[in-house]
Chains A and B, each alone.
Chain A
Amino acid sequence: MNRMNDERLEAYLEGEIPLEELPAALRDEERMLSDALGMLREDVRAPAALKGAVMAEIARRPRSRLRALVEWLVLPRPISVSPAMGGALAAAVVAVLLLLPAGEPTDRAGEPAAAVATPDPVVTRFVFVAPGASQVSLTGDWVDWDPDGISLTELRGSGVWTVDVPVPPGVHEYSFVVDGTEWRPDPLAGEPVDDGFGRANSVLMVAAAEA
């Protein structure tokens, strides 16, 4: 049951009534909120070894045949071309370009992501209050809405769930998934946005770390 909007709790948060005037259930609610806010105020620090561990994991992954083929195609190497072959290639390129349909001029919006320098992810703390939940996960566009998501850890059986996640800089939408089925926006992230599918997402804006 959500008592977050209880008028007595609001009155307490506004400083209009003392904590003692709240019923026990609301006092529990207030304690969870205080825990959550306390966690949000803590500095989030990326573990020193995070970057090394990520790079090691990338290096560890076996190279597929497809990747080997792609690398063979795109990695530069010296090639000898005779003048006649060069002329034929140029003619072929012109012929193919003439056959292509005219489109809108390409700008950076059409470039593949790999062509743009990718800034480092920023470790971001997420906190979600879900008393009674047995499992809470986080998913969003930066993990391609992986339905398994990123698992949050409950703080000492308090109903406060948290996780620190590296998030790439940019504007993101995300949602929590409670017990694998219930999609919920982040109540601590302000007014959620319509996801177009009849549910709501939270918006997260992550700025690149400044040098």
Chain B
Amino acid sequence: MLRRLPSIFVVLALGTVPPLAGQDASLESRVPPEVLSAVQPVLDAARLDSLPLAPLESKILEGVAKGVPADRIVPVTERLALELRNARSMLRQELPTTPLAGGEVSGAALAMRQGVPPGQLARLWESRSAQSLEIPLAVVGELARRGIPAEEAVEVMRVALEAGTPMSAAAQLPSRMDLTLTGAPAPQAALLEALRNLGIPIPPHAGGGRPGAPPGRPPGVGGGLPGG
């Protein structure tokens, strides 16, 4: 029995080592060694922090696919890790007992990059049902990127969540706005038009719009258009 103890310790120790050697196979097979060694400290720090690794690994693979040199991939990956870390940290301040999914941290980072304050984003959790908030957070960020004030963008998504709006409709909101914006109206007017077209309830003070959910047209034109 005692002779087996060292081997037990070895097995346990191996089981607790961060999976440096168990790196994502696609990273090892596709990323040149010099790039991998340059980004490894960023990934190790993110892993220790329990940050979502998928967006970081994806950004590295994107850089490699686009032929970007290692010395440019590293700072971009570092900046993304910092955004994820900040997003999670600030959301934890607002929502100390709420578990955050990786996709939600990424969505929040995207929205915060567009200037949406974390305190505003946290309001979405008041309206969430069982589903992930990844798409609502990203939609808020995309609306803010198109000139909608953060508070209004959050309110639109809060009302949509509370009304049980299908995520397939909410996800189309930014591209529907773009279709209207080509006619050069104000962003708020484009948002109202997109909300009407998608049958999403209009918050009482959104763009001076009126409350209620007018009958919407079925989803249609967009960029990549999910169907099925």
Contact = CB atoms under 8 A, between A and B. Distances in A.
Given A141-B58, A145-B58, A207 B16 contact: no
A186 B1 CA distance: 64
A14 interface: yes
A174 B5 contact: no
A107 B221 contact: no
Interface string B99-130: 11111111100100000000000000000000
Contacts of A141: 55, 58, 62
A196 B223 contact: no
Interface stretch (B33-41, B153-161, B168-176, B204-212): B168-176
Contacts of A199: 66
Interface string B31-73: 0000000000000000011111011011101111110100011
Given A43-B227, A84-B1, A144-B30, A108 B16 contact: no
Per DSSP, chain A at the interface is: mixed
A56 B145 CA distance: 43
A105 B63 CA distance: 30
Contacts of B99: 107-108
Contact of B65 (A96, A145, A208): A145
Contacts of B195: none
B138 A205 contact: yes
Contacts of A44: 225-228
A150 B162 CA distance: 38
Contacts of B65: 139, 145-147
Interface of B: 1, 4-5, 8-9, 12-13, 16, 26, 30, 48-52, 54-55, 57-59, 61-66, 68, 72-73, 76, 79-80, 88, 99-107, 110, 131, 134-135, 138-139, 142, 145-146, 166-168, 170-172, 174-175, 177-178, 183, 220-228
Q: Which 5 A-B pairs have the closest CB atoms?
A: A189-B223, A44-B227, A110-B50, A207-B167, A190-B178
